[in-house]
Structure 1
Amino acid sequence: MSMLFQLCVCILLFLIGFSEAVISCLNENGQPVDWFIIYKLPIYKMDVKGSGVDYMYLDPSVMDFQMSKNIVNSSKGALGRTLTQLYSGYTSNSSVYMLYNDAPPELKYPSKYGHTKERNYSYPSTGKYYGQTLLCITYNYSQFPQISLQLAYLNPRMYNCSVPGAFRQDIAEMAQICDGKTPALKNRRSLQKLKSVGGQTFFSFAKSRNYVDDIYTGWVAQALGTDLLVESWLHQAHQLPSNCSLPRHVMNINRVCLPGPQMFRSYEDHSKWCVSYAFKDQWICLGDLNRDSGQAGRGGGLICSQNSIIYKAFRQAMAGYKHC
Structure 2
Amino acid sequence: MAALSLLLLAALLWVPVGTLTCYGDSGQPVDWFVVYKLPAHSGPGDAAQRGLRYKYLDEDSGGWRDGAGLISSPTGAVGRSLLPLYRNTTSQLAFLLYNDQPPQSSGSQDSSSRGHTKGVLLLDQEGGFWLIHSVPNFPPPASSAAYSWPPSAQNYGQTLICVSFPLTQFLNISRQLTYTYPLVYDHRLEGDFAQKFHLEEVVKGHHVRQGPWNSSVTLTSNKGHMFQSFAKFGNFGDDLYSGWLVEALGSDLQVQFWQRSPGVLPSNCSGVQHVLDVTQTAFPGLAGPTFNATEDHSKWCVAPERPWACVGDMNRNKREEHRGGGTLCAQLPALWKAFQPLVKAWEPCGK
TM range (shorter): 0.7 to 0.9
Contact 1:57–1:68 at 8 Å: present in 2 too?
A: yes
Identical-pair percentage: 38
Q: 1:213 aligned to 2:238?
A: yes
Choose the corresponding residue for 1:127, options 153, 157, 176.
153
Q: Moved runs in structure 1, 4+ residues, more than 3 A? A: 46-50, 167-170, 183-186
Q: 1:300 — aligned with what?
A: 325
Cα distance in 2, alignment partners of residues 203 and 304 from structure 1: 5
Choose the corresponding residue for 1:273, options 282, 295, 300.
300
Q: Deviations over 1:3-51 (max 9, x none)?
A: xxxxxxxxxxxxxxxx950310011122100001100000123899672
Q: 2:111 — aligned with what?
A: 110
Q: 1:14 — aligned with what?
A: none
Cα distance in 1, alignment partners of residues 190 and 53 from structure 2: 37
Q: 1:315 aligned to 2:315?
A: no
Contact 1:152–1:174 at 8 Å: present in 2 too?
A: no
Q: CA RMSD in A?
A: 1.9
Cα distance in 1, alignment partners of residues 247 and 344 from structure 2: 24
Q: Secondary structure at the match of 2:241?
A: helix
Cα distance in 2, alignment partners of residues 273 and 217 from structure 1: 14
1:158 Cα deviation from its structure 2 partner: 0.6
What letter corresponds to residue 45 of structure 1 in structure 2? S
Q: Secondary structure at the match of 1:271?
A: coil
Cα distance in 1, alignment partners of residues 208 and 249 from structure 2: 27
What letter corresponds to residue 161 of structure 1 in structure 2? H
Task: Mark the CA change 1:184 to 1:242 in structure 2 (over 3 Å): closer, same or farther.
Answer: closer
1:246 Cα deviation from its structure 2 partner: 1.6
1:182 Cα deviation from its structure 2 partner: 1.4
Q: 1:228 — aligned with what?
A: 253
Cα distance in 2, alignment partners of residues 306 and 245 from structure 1: 25
Cα distance in 2, alignment partners of residues 302 and 47 from structure 1: 32
Q: 2:192 — aligned with what?
A: 166
Q: 1:41 aligned to 2:11?
A: no
1:178-257 map, 5 Å: 178=203, 180-187=204-211, 188-257=213-282
- With normalisation by structure 2, the TM-score equals 0.81
* Structure of greater relative contact order (alpha carbons < 8 Å, 6+ residues apart): 1
Cα distance in 2, alignment partners of residues 181 and 153 from structure 1: 11
What letter corresponds to residue 28 of structure 1 in structure 2? D
Contact 1:152–1:185 at 8 Å: present in 2 too?
A: no
Cα distance in 1, alignment partners of residues 27 and 209 from structure 2: 39
What letter corresponds to residue 92 of structure 2 in structure 1? S
**How many pairs does the alignment contain?**
301
What letter corresponds to residue 276 of structure 1 in structure 2? A
Contact 1:114–1:298 at 8 Å: present in 2 too?
A: yes
Unpaired segments ≥5 residues, structure 1: 1-18
Choose the corresponding residue for 2:289, options 240, 258, 262.
262
The structure with more helix, counted as a fraction of residues: 2
Cα distance in 2, alignment partners of residues 274 and 256 from structure 1: 12
Q: 2:93 — aligned with what?
A: 95
What letter corresponds to residue 290 of structure 1 in structure 2? N
Q: 1:84 — aligned with what?
A: 83
Q: Secondary structure at the match of 1:210?
A: helix
Q: Secondary structure at the match of 2:162?
A: strand
1:168 Cα deviation from its structure 2 partner: 4.2
Contact 2:303–2:309 at 8 Å: present in 1 too?
A: yes
Contact 1:102–1:157 at 8 Å: present in 2 too?
A: yes
Unpaired segments ≥5 residues, structure 2: 1-15, 120-138, 141-146
Q: Deviations over 1:164-198 (max 9, x none)?
A: 34244441x211223x2414444311111101001
Q: 1:284 — aligned with what?
A: 309
Q: Deviations over 1:266-311 (max 9, x none)?
A: 0000001000021xx2000111111111211111000000011111
Contact 1:154–1:301 at 8 Å: present in 2 too?
A: yes
Contact 2:174–2:202 at 8 Å: present in 1 too?
A: no
Cα distance in 1, alignment partners of residues 270 and 58 from structure 2: 36
Contact 1:102–1:114 at 8 Å: present in 2 too?
A: yes
Q: Secondary structure at the match of 1:289?
A: coil
Q: 1:136 — aligned with what?
A: 162
1:247 Cα deviation from its structure 2 partner: 2.0
